[in-house]
């Protein structure tokens, strides 16, 4: 990656998100390997234990269908801040990163 002092903040954010995506993919692969292979669970510095945890979930769609008034009574607005990035093409058009990725793959 280039010098962060010279990289525009949106560009650096996009690069960081891409790194996170690659790391999440690697994490998923390593997790899969550990679950499937007991012999891979002992490392030099870490021991991996595979534990199954059971949690309770609420089927909100069904709850809304059966008890709409009750759900509305306990529903409240929550503010979330999200930053959406758009790719600036050579001709200045703004497109989504997913579309850009597809277009880039198709061009190869």
Distance CA 47, CA 41 (A): 6
Which pLDDT score is estimated for 98?
86
| 27 inside domain | yes
Q: What is the pLDDT of residue 1?
A: 47
Residue 87 included in any domain: no
Q: Which domain holds residue 10?
A: 4-77
pLDDT in tens, 15-70: 999 999 999 999 999 999 999 999 999 999 999 999 999 999 999 999 999 999 99
Q: Kindly write down the DSSP assignment for every residue of 5-45, as one continuous string.
A: GGS-HHHHHHHHHHHHHHHHHHHHHHHHHHHH-GGGSB-SS
| Number of independent structural domains in the chain | 1
Decide if 93 is inside a domain.
no
């Amino acid at each position: 990656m280039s010098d962060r002092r010279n990289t525009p903040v949106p560009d650096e954010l996009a690069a960081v998100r891409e790194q996170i995506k690659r790391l999440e993919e690697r994490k998923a692969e390593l997790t899969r390997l550990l679950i499937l292979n007991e012999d891979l669970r002992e490392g030099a510095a870490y021991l991996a234990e595979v534990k199954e945890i059971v949690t309770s979930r609420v089927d909100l769609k069904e709850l809304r269908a059966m008890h709409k008034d009750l759900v509305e009574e306990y529903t409240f607005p929550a503010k979330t801040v999200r930053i959406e990035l758009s790719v600036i093409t050579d001709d200045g058009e703004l497109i989504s990163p997913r579309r850009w990725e597809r277009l880039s793959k198709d061009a190869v």
